[in-house]
Amino acid sequence: MSSEVFAITSENLTKKFGDRVAVNQLSLSIRKGSIYGFLGPNGSGKTTTIRILCGLLAATSGNGTVLGFDVMTQSEEIKKRIGYMSQKFSLYEDLTVNENLNFYAGIYGIRGQQKEKRKKELLEMAGLIGREDQLAGSLSGGWKQRLALSCALLHEPEVLILDEPTAGVDPVSRRIFWDTIHQLAKQGITVLVTTHYMDEAQTCDWIGFIFFGNMLAQGTPESLIQEYGGENLEDVFIMLVEQEERRVSGADQKTSVSGEVGGNR
Amino acid sequence: MKRNRLDLFSMGRFLSIVKKEIIQFKRDKPSLAIALAMPIMMLMLFGYAISTDVENIKTTVWDQSRSADSRDVIASLEHTQLFEVVSYSLSEQEVEDQIDQGKADVALIIPPDFAHKRDNDEPVALQMLINGSDPNIARTATANAQLIIQHKALAVQEKILASKGMGELEQPMSLETRVLFNPDMDSNVFNIPGLIGLIMQNVTMILTAFSLVREKEKGTMEQLNVTPIKPVELFLGKITPYFFIGMFSFLVVLILGIYWFHVPVKGSMSLLVTLSGMFLITTLALGMFVSIISKTQLQAMQLAFAFILPSVLLSGFLFPRDTMPMVIQWIGAIVPLTYYLEILRGIFLKGVGVEALWQDIINLMIFFVLLLSIAVLRFRKKVE
């Protein structure tokens, strides 16, 4: 596997929670410097896959690498080099913007001049200049997301993993956020992002459809639209989901790929 | 990054956690209240509430004799300050009413022929009715009334013997008691040191029990888990601020105990502070353990209380452990507070040092090492 070309790879990655298969034999490879859009309905296994790649969860079988490091055995090496944003705003609401940044700078071992320089860059990027002393909890949704992104970028990660970063964020903030992501990709950062918004997915370099833990289709947005003959990505998405639902209900349900998948746990 | 040395423990990451915890602690009013106000409130409340000293037992007297002799008996009961005559009853019914209504716990009944029989040196019996609902009061009343009347009887006997020209009555056997360590048998002297231990355990456990689980609930834990932070850095970073907060609370209640409740420390102050610090870390680790195994703050609270309540009863805080059944004693032996109470009372009351307390110190150390390792080992950077 060439870690020269691919930032993230996985082979037959499987995660079971008891009898339930959350991720089923998932294989993917993400080119360095590209934006990979991870699409799928709620509970399809997106978050689980991301958590395995970040080293937050142990896979049941299969393997994966991030920047050439094994997700099962070298997760601490991976953690030094990736930036991560979870679905939920997960910074300290009772700390100010500045205190949150200082805290994560300390955690990533960024000190002195470098820290001040990096903080300034990120505050500018996020448009948070002037809000340094505001409590993170009092920021609006869009600001919160950009602050979270800033904290995830403090240590200049090579890979950025974003789990539904724009859920519940207003359209303007969403646009600003995605502009930033494209900027980052141009700088050579690899981005893995999950989303429900098809307009966002459209701008990704590569797309993976996941449903009931299975990877249904992968490709560039254009090639997917062409292959499945829809008008746009949304058509492809719905087509794939319906197709899979028919297949699952048609097949005998010995394997417990149950449809009752609540939440993203 | 250019890091050549072994990356086992980073002071920078540890200090970042400490700093963050302090900022959060300062902004969290309930935590501040628990750490600073609760110890004082608990000490004041329990310091006054938990008094097993029995005094001024409410007594009603049905004096049917109404003689100098009967008044003499009543006076000697009252002299002890154990009995306080609150009413005089005039009938059996009235005596019963007084006890039933809780106006009196003890009734002294003096028969009509008391003076007459006394004059003729005939044996005469007094009756005492005691409300046994509170065994402590009942025991004290019985024992002391017995003693007082016996004393009186002996004096009478001596007088009779003297009148018959037999001279002084020589007692063939006597017991001289000397109460050590707490000569006035003031229950505060016994309770306050124990209370200091209990307060420290509760405050630190409640504070730390929430500290990790709160981050789990808010999702900040997940974010931390994808950083290069080491579990031991996070663990120590979290308990370090609480160690100082706990020590501060300890000193506050210690000073209040000494100067407000007048319970002196007879032993070495430095030994007391050192061992208290060790106990503090043990309970902090216990609180962290609760936080690690709980999924929600509610669970953490229930777990903490499930531990705190039995520890009050089993540690020997309220009741002596020696009189408990063996099985209960064993259960009490797995409560760190048990050993700390021995240490506290040993240093406070007896003024003893390491030579007398080494067993308790070793036991406390075992908990210290055990809990700290379990908590650190159980701590994983994974989501459940």
Q: How far apart are CA B155 and CA A133, in angstroms?
A: 85
* Amino acid, single-letter form, for residue A148: A
3-state SS assignment for residue A22: strand
* Amino acid, single-letter form, for residue B339: Y
Q: How far apart are CA B192 and CA B43, in angstroms?
A: 8
Cβ distance of B27 and A94 shorter than 8 Å: yes
Torsion of CA A217, A218, A222, A225, to 10 degrees: 0
What DSSP letter does each residue of B312-346 carry, written as one string?
A: HHHTTSSS-GGGS-HHHHHHHHT-HHHHHHHHHHI
| Contact (CB, 8 A) for A91 and A136 | yes
A168: left (phi over 0), alpha (psi -120 to 50) or beta: left
Instruction: Choose the mutation target among B20, B221, B238, B384 for the interface with A, i.e. most A CBs under 10 Å.
Output: B20
Å between B249 CA and nearest CA of chain A: 24
Write out the two tokens for B195: 């209370």
Q: Which residues of chain A have pLDDT under 50?
A: 1, 254-265
Cβ distance of B383 and A57 shorter than 8 Å: yes
3-state SS assignment for residue A139: coil
Cβ distance of A88 and B219 shorter than 8 Å: yes
Cβ distance of B20 and A95 shorter than 8 Å: yes
Cβ distance of A107 and B224 shorter than 8 Å: yes
| Contact (CB, 8 A) for B189 and B204 | no
- Which of residues 184 through 223 in chain B touch A, CB cutoff 8 A? 218-220, 222-223
What DSSP letter does each residue of B250-280 carry, written as one string?
A: HHHHHHHHHHTS-----S-HHHHHHHHHHHH
What's the ipTM?
0.87
Tell me the sheet residues that pair with A168.
none
Placement of tokens 């805290």 in the chain: A103
* Amino acid, single-letter form, for residue A63: N
Nearest chain B residue to A156, by CA: B1
Q: How far apart are CA B302 and CA A57, in angstroms?
A: 28
Closest listed residue to residue A24, CA positions, set A40, A8, A11: A11
Nearest chain B residue to A112, by CA: B12
Q: How far apart are CA A57 and CA A38, in angstroms?
A: 18
Distances (CA, A) of A179 to A120, A140, A200: 19, 19, 10
Cβ distance of B223 and A111 shorter than 8 Å: no
Cβ distance of A56 and B219 shorter than 8 Å: no
Instruction: Choose the mutation target among A94, A107, A133, A264 for the interface with B, i.e. most B CBs under 10 Å.
Output: A107
Option in A58, A80, A106 nearest B12 (CB): A106
Is residue B173 within 8 angstroms of chain A, CB to CB? no
Is residue B383 within 8 angstroms of chain A, CB to CB? yes
Write out the two tokens for B139: 């025991």
Cβ distance of B24 and A95 shorter than 8 Å: yes
The arrangement of strands across the sheet holding B83-88 comes to: B83-88, B57-63, B106-110, B127-130
Q: What are phi and psi of B170, to 5 degrees?
A: -100, 125
Å between B230 CA and nearest CA of chain A: 9
The arrangement of strands across the sheet holding A6-17 comes to: A20-31, A6-17, A61-66, A69-70
The helix (H) or strand (E) run that includes residue A8 is: strand A6-17
Distances (CA, A) of A34 to A50, A69, A207, B232: 16, 19, 11, 36
H runs (alpha helix) in chain B = 11-27, 29-32, 38-49, 68-79, 92-100, 114-119, 135-163, 187-218, 220-225, 231-259, 269-293, 297-314, 326-333, 336-345, 354-378
Q: What is the mean pLDDT of each run of 10 residues along chain B (384 residues)?
A: 61 95 92 88 85 81 90 88 90 90 91 87 88 86 88 83 75 78 76 90 90 91 92 91 93 93 90 93 91 92 91 86 88 91 91 89 89 81 63
Look at residue B169 in the predicted model and tell me its pLDDT.
Answer: 66
- Which of residues 175 through 214 in chain A touch B, CB cutoff 8 A? none
Q: How far apart are CA B250 and CA B202, in angstroms?
A: 12
- Contact list in A for residue B1 (CB cut-off 8 A) is 80, 109
Look at residue A231 in the predicted model and tell me its pLDDT.
Answer: 84
Domains by residue range for chain B, with CATH:
12-51+186-383 (no CATH), 57-163 (3.40.1710.10)
Write out the two tokens for A94: 């009772």
Look at residue B117 in the predicted model and tell me its pLDDT.
Answer: 87
- Which of residues 42 through 71 in chain A touch B, CB cutoff 8 A? 51, 54-58
Q: What is the DSSP letter of A136?
A: G
Look at residue A49 in the predicted model and tell me its pLDDT.
Answer: 94
Q: How far apart are CA B97 and CA B112, in angstroms?
A: 21
- Contact list in B for residue A103 (CB cut-off 8 A) is 16, 19-20
